[in-house]
């Protein structure tokens, strides 16, 4: 990440500023030590307190200067990290909203949101902690050391020797700890997860009659976890022990050698005191690097993940072709479309070729994993085809992430998303300027009238997550009403009713069939009762179209579709 | 304060260990301080060029000792601290588990989901940090504060009081102010963060709608604006922290100057040897270095408020378990098989309308019943009633005449449940199946796996029955997961099995295969199959149709097909 850091906008400028401030800060640290030592020495030599006023003021000045600079540096880096964090977040949001649901699903909604919020804030924290520390580390020990060298060579040598020793030990012990932790990782993870796992599975344990006896397990696993953790920590903490040990020992050694030479008269009090005050300052940056180590790691990791999303391949730019509004004459053709979700992975769609014209109703059936949803994703412009072309009105392309196309579509998935907003705003999502009359009609057509009557604030009730929760059927009706309101000519439906109870399904099906009139419809489902209502059916198997035709034709062929129907109707077809 | 319940008892319980942690904590600060103190003394003493080297021999040894002690005691402090905390965590886990366990089936909306329970587990994890980063350092520093002031008081009480005041500003005033400031801010920031979290989740969940609406850029702009507004609060807090830290350094400067002045006076009056000046001045730096982090440590406390809140609410919400372990559980004479009977059962939750109204049906040994009805009709309540997790408002649920509510954990001997999402635990396949019966032999496990037609697949895995269910890249499909759960139930060997929509979310082929297996392996058992659709309905003896809390239809599949229009219509939809 360190090299990548330089790629961020404004990073070089910030580093240069930090560098400058830190040099001044280093000077303040040295002066502060020098003047404090001087005050103490003169008091030691029985000078009156009034006589050292001037030097004392200088000391206070240097001391405050040092901390004031710290303040300024922190402010500067903080503001910069806020700016950079916001910039990165915006880039990720842009990428996410460009790439669409496919990527959002792959990342996981929770994961993506956490990354955008906590991840960004971890990244910010990392920057504001790490940058000044890094610059301090690069500058202050060197400056302090040079000054000590000017005063006394022996002390400089002691300090010089300790630092690499310390770093080497820290690294070695750190590696040892990591090795041990890696070895135990598997056991460790199971032990650490055991409690959460138990709570999540409590219902199951209860059904199995094992929940009370399990208390014992929790106790013993938790104790094993403690022992395993302590075993690892014993080694893990050694690395900061080494840091402490060498720092303290080095300061002590410096003090002892100074003392011995003072006794011999080779040295005077002032330089000795100065060195003694500076010795901890020499080690301070190293110690600070060690602190907040985890925050640094997390921030780095978050930054890397965020950057990964920004760098995800975008949809290919294919010019700004104009697409007409869908009508009777229009034709859509897929020619040998192949889609792979992972590079080199098995294709989800393999050489799919089909063609539709005008306002047909197309059924897409097949088992789970046959590629039904992927085909819908292609139509929706959520994925790009690796091979093959899509052709509309004579224009060839590899994906349908086109404003002209998407603005004609309406997509109803199995679980249509209900925004946490009023029912009204949910209904008019695609049609923000719809009139009350239009909304009322759509509500009636979708069978939502009863719900609107029932809830206290009617259309202005907050629904969705955190508001009034809607049942699966109600959510589907909201999507339906949106569709009635939107009057978009193309409908994509992905398993719209499979999770509903039969009575609700029946009612919604009737409403949907009404919606289908005069539209181009793609309906992917394994609920075969839809199929007699479709104009044409494609049967997918392992990403390929293996059968096509009307319901009647496919039943007569007695192959894939027929077999599936038989299974579906419980062998009583 | 609600924090007390989940903090103090654990501190008391581990008094001795806690004593060690604080001892090492104090020793750490003490050694760091005395390293500088004796160093200052050593150098000053040496500067007087004593004739007798022995004069500085003691400080030389002391300097080295303190240097080493500081490193060792810091190491010990961290180690013992973590050990105590992990012990406390075990205790907390047990406490949470004992609170949750008795009521997991009976509690309804509030925290029944595994997710919410998972959050409780995380809360406990978080509280570790409270101990390690706030409680322990605070106690150690306060102790050291007292010690240092007492030591200085030995020289001069008035001056000790002055320094106590300065250090008090660092150790008490600043932390308290920080606590108040963050407390006020934390709530607002949390609320703001939460709002943004919801907005963003909302948008990502509905991302396809945003794409199709063509308004995604509006959203991003709006969202960024709100983030910006929220970051103002954070900015203010950071500004406060920066100024507080700078002010703290000002206080330290004051302490140094006062110390210089006092030592100068003392030496002038001959009360103090001049060699002590450096020692007294230098000791200030390591001491205040230990005091400074306390402000941040204390202002972390509001961040734990939510965790404490959830844990104490949990304790408050839980009623005492109705049945203690030692109470006599009535015996069921099962010689001639077990009959489950619902006799005029009604049930409603507090304050809500009737959920179940006068339900009666019987499942005789070996009988298969389907319980059908739209979601929300009260099907899952019937499961809870059968499990004895809730008591009917009126009527009785009995097994061979014994009410199920009196059976406690013993219910699992008589009734097994296969639900929508049986939990598979983070352990091997073997252990997961063995959960059905603890003393099952490996052969019995293989037998069960063969029954559910999973043996061949398990054998084909590199680790066979020892394949862990998570990680390792082996993904079990929904159907396979149900089969593992089914094998578990076979070992459990209860005479009655309740199937609670076990095929939801499976595709028709998988569903078909699973249902066939289920009915095959359960052919000798009584089965109550809760379902919302009618595929395979012909495989049961009797169909019950539940709607609006009432039994609407009851009869065999054939009868219902003939007599009920509604049933016929639904059957056509399969």
In contact, B132 and B114? CB cutoff 8 Å: no
Residue B160, token pair as written in the block: 């000790």
Mean pLDDT (whole number) for B487-494: 93
- Mark whether B363 and B301 lie in a shared domain: no
pLDDT at B52: 77
ipTM above threshold 0.85 = no
Q: How many contacts, defined by CB atoms under 8 Å, are there between A and B?
A: 402
- Note the pLDDT tens digit of each residue in A375-404: 998 998 888 888 899 988 888 888 888 888
Do B201 and A259 lie within an 8 Å CB cutoff? Answer: no
- For position B481, which CATH number holds? 3.40.50.300
Instruction: Give yes or no for residue B112 having a pLDDT over 50.
Output: no
Between positions 16 and 75 of B, the ones with CB within 8 A of A are: 31-32, 35-36, 38-40, 42-47, 49-50, 53, 56, 59-60, 63-64, 66-68, 70-72, 74-75
- Mark whether B311 and B347 lie in a shared domain: no
- Mark whether B143 and B31 lie in a shared domain: yes
- Mark whether B355 and B311 lie in a shared domain: no
A355 min Cα distance to partner chain B (Å):
23
The span from the first CA to the last CA of chain A, in angstroms, equals 62
pLDDT at A275: 95
B553: which chain A residues are within 8 Å (Cβ-Cβ)? none
B273: which chain A residues are within 8 Å (Cβ-Cβ)? none
Greater confidence, B52 or B12? B12
B265 min Cα distance to partner chain A (Å):
8
Q: Is B344 left (phi over 0), alpha (psi -120 to 50) or beta?
A: left
Report the C-alpha gap between B74 and A51 in whole angstroms. Answer: 41
Report the C-alpha gap between B454 and B447 in whole angstroms. Answer: 10
pLDDT at B363: 93
- Mark whether B403 and B277 lie in a shared domain: no
Do B67 and A413 lie within an 8 Å CB cutoff? Answer: no
Q: Is B495 helix (H, G, I), strand (E, B) or coil?
A: coil
- Note the pLDDT tens digit of each residue in A219-236: 999 999 899 889 888 888
- Note the pLDDT tens digit of each residue in B74-93: 999 999 999 999 999 999 98
Phi, psi of A496 (to 5 degrees): -75, -20
Q: Give a yes or no: residue B335 inside a domain.
A: no
Do A201 and B114 lie within an 8 Å CB cutoff? Answer: yes
- For position B274, which CATH number holds? 1.20.1560.10
Selecting from B46, B63, B210 the residue whose C-beta is nearest the C-beta of A97 gives B210
Report the C-alpha gap between A192 and A226 in whole angstroms. Answer: 9
Mean pLDDT of chain A: 88
Range of the domain at B517: 340-573
pLDDT at A268: 92
Number of domains in chain B: 2
B153 min Cα distance to partner chain A (Å):
22
pLDDT at B2: 55
Beta strands in B501-541 (DSSP E): 526-531
- Mark whether B310 and B347 lie in a shared domain: no
* A295 touches B at CB < 8 Å: no
Instruction: Kindly tell me the sign of the dihedral angle through the C-alpha atoms of B355, B361, B365, B370.
Output: negative
CA A143 vs. chain centroid, Å, equals 41
Among B423, B433, B553, B568, the strongest candidate for a mutation testing the A interface, having the largest count of A CBs within 10 A, is B423
Closest chain B residue to the Cα of A410, Cα to Cα: B212
Q: Give a yes or no: residue B220 inside a domain.
A: yes
Report the C-alpha gap between B3 and B306 in whole angstroms. Answer: 10
Domains located in chain A, CATH noted: 1-152+292-314 (no CATH), 153-266 (no CATH), 331-568 (3.40.50.300)
Closest chain A residue to the Cα of B389, Cα to Cα: A206
Residues paired with residue B483 on neighbouring β-strands, in sequence order:
none
DSSP string, B140-180: HHHHHHHHHHHHHHTT-HHHHHHHHHHHHIIIIIHHHHHHH
Q: Give a yes or no: residue B494 inside a domain.
A: yes
Pairing of strands B402-403, B394-399: antiparallel
Selecting from A219, A259, A499 the residue whose C-beta is nearest the C-beta of B43 gives A259
B2 min Cα distance to partner chain A (Å):
23
A340 min Cα distance to partner chain B (Å):
20
What are the start-end ranges of the H helices in A428-501?
436-446, 449-454, 472-486
Instruction: Give yes or no for residue B489 having a pLDDT over 90.
Output: yes
pLDDT at B320: 47
- Note the pLDDT tens digit of each residue in B407-461: 888 888 899 999 888 888 888 899 999 999 989 999 999 999 999 999 999 998 8
Report the C-alpha gap between B211 and B222 in whole angstroms. Answer: 16
- Of B286, B302, B317, the residue at which a domain comes to its end is B317
Do A269 and B423 lie within an 8 Å CB cutoff? Answer: no
pLDDT at B452: 93
Residues paired with residue B394 on neighbouring β-strands, in sequence order:
B346
Q: Give a yes or no: residue B322 inside a domain.
A: no
* A95 touches B at CB < 8 Å: no
Mean pLDDT (whole number) for A169-175: 84
Between positions 130 and 189 of B, the ones with CB within 8 A of A are: none
* A86 touches B at CB < 8 Å: yes
Q: Which residue matches tokens 């840091």? A: A243
pLDDT at A523: 94
pLDDT band at B319 (very low <50, low <70, confident <90, very high): low
Do B70 and A248 lie within an 8 Å CB cutoff? Answer: yes
Selecting from B93, B509, B574 the residue whose C-beta is nearest the C-beta of A222 gives B93
Pick from A406, A112, A383: nearest CA to B216: A406
Among A121, A502, A507, the strongest candidate for a mutation testing the B interface, having the largest count of B CBs within 10 A, is A502
Instruction: Please give the angle made by the CA atoms of B247, B249 and B254, to the nearest 5 degrees.
Output: 95
- Mark whether B258 and B369 lie in a shared domain: no
B266: which chain A residues are within 8 Å (Cβ-Cβ)? none
- Mark whether B465 and B543 lie in a shared domain: yes
Q: Give a yes or no: residue B392 inside a domain.
A: yes
Q: Which residue matches tokens 């939510």? A: B306
- Of B263, B283, B317, the residue at which a domain comes to its end is B317
A268: which chain B residues are within 8 Å (Cβ-Cβ)? 47
Instruction: Please give the angle made by the CA atoms of B208, A424 and A410, to the nearest 5 degrees.
Output: 30
- Of B267, B283, B317, the residue at which a domain comes to its end is B317
Instruction: Give yes or no for residue B186 having a pLDDT over 90.
Output: no
- Mark whether B350 and B413 lie in a shared domain: yes
pLDDT at A188: 74
Greater confidence, B2 or B286? B286
Mean pLDDT (whole number) for A331-357: 86
Selecting from A197, A211, A256 the residue whose C-beta is nearest the C-beta of B425 gives A197
H or E element in which residue A520 lies: strand A520-524
Selecting from B60, B206, B210 the residue whose C-beta is nearest the C-beta of A256 gives B60
SS (H, E, C) B194-256: HHHHHHHHHHHHCHHHHHHHCCHHHHHHHHHHHHHHHHHHHHHHHHHHHHHHHHHHHHHHHHH
For B518, other C-beta atoms within 10 Å of its C-beta total 24
pLDDT band at A143 (very low <50, low <70, confident <90, very high): very high
- Mark whether B294 and B389 lie in a shared domain: no
Q: Give a yes or no: residue B328 inside a domain.
A: no
pLDDT band at B324 (very low <50, low <70, confident <90, very high): very low
Q: Is A539 helix (H, G, I), strand (E, B) or coil?
A: strand
- Mark whether B231 and B350 lie in a shared domain: no
pLDDT at A182: 78
Among A1-5, A127-131, A504-508, B201-205, the least confident range: A1-5
- Mark whether B97 and B184 lie in a shared domain: yes
A345: which chain B residues are within 8 Å (Cβ-Cβ)? none
- Interhelix angle A11-44/B216-268, nearest 10 degrees: 10
- Note the pLDDT tens digit of each residue in B252-269: 999 999 999 999 999 999
B438: which chain A residues are within 8 Å (Cβ-Cβ)? 210, 213
Q: Give a yes or no: residue B325 inside a domain.
A: no
Among B206, B321, B427, B501, the strongest candidate for a mutation testing the A interface, having the largest count of A CBs within 10 A, is B206
Mean pLDDT (whole number) for B544-573: 85
Among A32, A40, A69, the strongest candidate for a mutation testing the B interface, having the largest count of B CBs within 10 A, is A40
A526: which chain B residues are within 8 Å (Cβ-Cβ)? 507-508
For B151, other C-beta atoms within 10 Å of its C-beta total 11
Among A245, A252, A508, the strongest candidate for a mutation testing the B interface, having the largest count of B CBs within 10 A, is A252
pLDDT at B122: 83
Q: Give a yes or no: residue B332 inside a domain.
A: no
* B535 touches A at CB < 8 Å: yes
Between positions 392 and 411 of B, the ones with CB within 8 A of A are: 409-411
pLDDT at B75: 94
SS (H, E, C) B64-115: HHHHHHHHHHHHHHHHHHHHHHHHHHHHHHHHHHHHHHHHCCCCCCCCCCHH
Percent of chain B topping pLDDT 70: 92
In contact, B554 and B361? CB cutoff 8 Å: yes
Among A182-196, A519-533, B146-160, the least confident range: A182-196
Do A276 and B59 lie within an 8 Å CB cutoff? Answer: no
Selecting from A214, A238, A256 the residue whose C-beta is nearest the C-beta of B64 gives A256
């Amino acid at each position: 990440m360190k090299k990548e850091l330089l790629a961020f906008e404004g990073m070089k400028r910030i580093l240069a500023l930090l560098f400058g401030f830190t040099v001044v800060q280093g000077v303040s640290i040295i002066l502060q030590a020098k003047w404090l030592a001087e005050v103490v020495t003169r008091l030691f030599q029985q000078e009156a307190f009034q006589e050292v006023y001037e030097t004392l003021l200088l000391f206070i000045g240097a001391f405050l200067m040092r901390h004031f600079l710290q303040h300024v540096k922190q402010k500067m880096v903080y503001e910069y990290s806020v700016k950079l964090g916001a910039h990165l977040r915006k880039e990720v949001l842009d990428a996410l909203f460009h790439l669409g649901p496919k990527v959002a699903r792959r990342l996981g909604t929770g994961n993506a949101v956490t990354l955008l919020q906590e991840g960004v804030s971890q990244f910010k924290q990392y920057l504001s902690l790490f940058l000044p520390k890094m610059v301090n580390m690069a500058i202050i020990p060197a400056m302090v050391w040079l000054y000590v060298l000017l005063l006394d060579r022996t002390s400089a040598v002691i300090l010089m020797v300790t630092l690499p020793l310390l770093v080497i030990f820290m690294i070695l012990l750190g590696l040892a700890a990591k090795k041990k932790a890696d070895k135990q990782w598997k056991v460790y993870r199971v032990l650490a997860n055991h409690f959460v796992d138990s709570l999540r599975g409590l219902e199951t344990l209860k059904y199995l009659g094992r929940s009370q006896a399990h208390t014992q397990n929790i106790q013993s696993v938790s104790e094993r976890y403690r022992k395993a953790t302590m075993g690892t920590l014993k080694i893990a903490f050694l690395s900061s022990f080494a840091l402490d040990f060498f720092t303290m020992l080095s300061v002590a050694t410096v003090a002892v050698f100074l003392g011995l030479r003072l006794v011999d008269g080779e040295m005077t009090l002032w330089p000795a005191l100065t060195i003694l005050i500076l010795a901890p300052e020499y080690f301070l940056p190293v110690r600070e690097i060690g602190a907040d180590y985890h925050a640094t790691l997390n921030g780095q990791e978050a930054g890397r993940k965020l950057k990964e999303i920004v760098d995800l391949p975008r949809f290919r730019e294919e010019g700004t072709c104009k697409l007409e509004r869908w009508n009777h004459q229009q034709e859509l053709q897929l020619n040998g479309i192949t889609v792979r979700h992972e590079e080199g992975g098995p294709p989800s769609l393999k050489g799919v070729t089909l063609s539709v014209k005008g306002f047909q109703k197309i059924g897409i059936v097949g088992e789970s994993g046959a590629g039904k949803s992927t085909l819908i994703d292609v139509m929706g412009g959520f994925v790009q085809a690796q091979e093959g072309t899509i052709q509309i009105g004579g224009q060839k392309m590899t994906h349908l992430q086109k404003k002209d196309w998407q603005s004609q579509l309406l997509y109803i998935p199995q679980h249509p998303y209900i925004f946490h907003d009023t029912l009204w705003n949910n209904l008019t999502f695609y049609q923000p300027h719809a009139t009350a009359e239009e909304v009322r009609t759509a509500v009636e057509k979708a069978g939502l009238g009863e719900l609107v009557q029932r809830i206290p604030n009617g259309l202005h009730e907050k629904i969705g997550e955190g508001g009034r929760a809607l049942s699966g059927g109600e959510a589907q009706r909201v999507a339906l009403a949106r569709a009635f309101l939107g009057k978009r000519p193309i409908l994509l439906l992905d398993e719209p009713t499979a999770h509903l109870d039969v009575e609700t399904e029946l009612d919604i099906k009737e409403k949907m069939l009404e919606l289908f009139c005069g539209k181009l419809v793609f309906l992917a489902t394994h609920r075969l009762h839809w199929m007699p209502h479709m104009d044409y059916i494609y049967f997918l198997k392992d990403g390929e179209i293996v059968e096509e035709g009307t319901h009647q034709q496919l039943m007569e062929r007695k192959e894939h579709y027929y077999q599936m129907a038989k299974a579906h109707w419980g062998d009583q077809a | 304060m609600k924090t007390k319940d989940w903090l103090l008892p654990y501190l008391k319980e581990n008094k001795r260990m806690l004593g060690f942690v604080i001892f090492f904590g104090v020793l750490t600060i003490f050694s760091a301080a005395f390293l500088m103190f004796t160093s200052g003394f050593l150098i000053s003493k040496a500067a007087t060029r004593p004739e007798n080297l022995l004069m500085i021999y003691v400080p030389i040894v002391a300097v080295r000792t303190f240097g080493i002690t500081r490193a060792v005691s810091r190491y010990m402090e961290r180690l013992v601290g973590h050990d105590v905390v992990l012990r406390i965590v075990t205790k907390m886990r047990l406490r949470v588990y004992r609170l949750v366990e008795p009521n997991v089936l009976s509690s309804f909306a509030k925290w029944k989901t595994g997710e919410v329970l998972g959050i409780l587990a995380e809360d406990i994890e978080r509280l570790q940090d409270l101990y390690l980063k706030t409680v322990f350092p605070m106690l150690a520093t306060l102790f050291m504060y007292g010690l240092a002031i007492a030591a200085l008081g030995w020289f001069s009480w008035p001056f000790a009081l002055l320094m106590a005041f300065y250090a008090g500003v660092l150790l008490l005033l600043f932390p308290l102010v920080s606590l108040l400031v963050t407390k006020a801010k934390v709530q607002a920031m949390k609320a703001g963060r939460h709002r943004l979290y919801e907005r963003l989740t909302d948008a990502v969940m509905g991302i396809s709608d945003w794409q199709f609406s063509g308004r995604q850029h509006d959203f991003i702009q709006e969202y960024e604006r709100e983030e910006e507004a929220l970051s103002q609060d954070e900015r203010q807090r950071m500004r406060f922290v920066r100024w507080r830290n700078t002010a703290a350094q000002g206080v330290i400067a004051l302490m140094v100057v006062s110390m210089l002045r006092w030592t100068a006076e003392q030496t002038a009056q001959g009360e103090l040897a001049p060699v002590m000046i450096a020692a007294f001045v230098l000791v200030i730096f390591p001491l205040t270095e230990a005091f400074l982090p306390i402000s941040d440590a204390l202002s972390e406390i509001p961040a734990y408020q939510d965790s404490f809140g959830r844990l104490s609410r949990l304790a408050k919400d839980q009623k005492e378990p109705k049945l203690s372990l030692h109470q006599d559980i009535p015996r069921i004479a099962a010689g001639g098989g077990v009959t489950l009977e619902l006799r005029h059962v009604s049930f409603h939750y507090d304050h809500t309308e009737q959920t179940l109204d006068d339900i009666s049906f019987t499942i005789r040994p070996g009988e298969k019943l389907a319980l059908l009805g739209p979601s929300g009709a009260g099907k899952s309540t019937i499961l809870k009633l059968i499990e004895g997790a809730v008591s009917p408002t009126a009527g009785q649920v009995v097994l061979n005449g014994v009410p199920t509510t009196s059976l406690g954990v013993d219910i699992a001997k008589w009734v097994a449940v296969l639900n929508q999402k049986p939990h598979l635990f983070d352990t091997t396949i073997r252990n997961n199946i063995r959960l059905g019966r603890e003393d099952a032999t490996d052969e019995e496990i293989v037998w069960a796996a063969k029954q559910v037609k999973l043996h061949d697949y398990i054998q084909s895995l590199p680790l066979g029955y020892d394949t862990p269910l998570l990680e390792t890249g082996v993904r079990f499909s929904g159907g396979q997961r149900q089969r593992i759960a089914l094998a578990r139930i076979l070992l459990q060997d209860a005479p009655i099995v309740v199937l609670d929509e076990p095929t939801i979310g499976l595709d028709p082929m998988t569903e078909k295969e699973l249902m066939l297996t289920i009915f095959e392996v359960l052919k000798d058992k009584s089965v109550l199959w809760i379902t919302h659709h009618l595929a395979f309905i012909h495989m049961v003896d009797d169909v019950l149709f539940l709607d609006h809390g009432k039994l609407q239809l009851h009869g065999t599949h054939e009868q219902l097909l003939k007599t009920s229009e509604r049933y016929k219509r639904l059957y056509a939809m399969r």
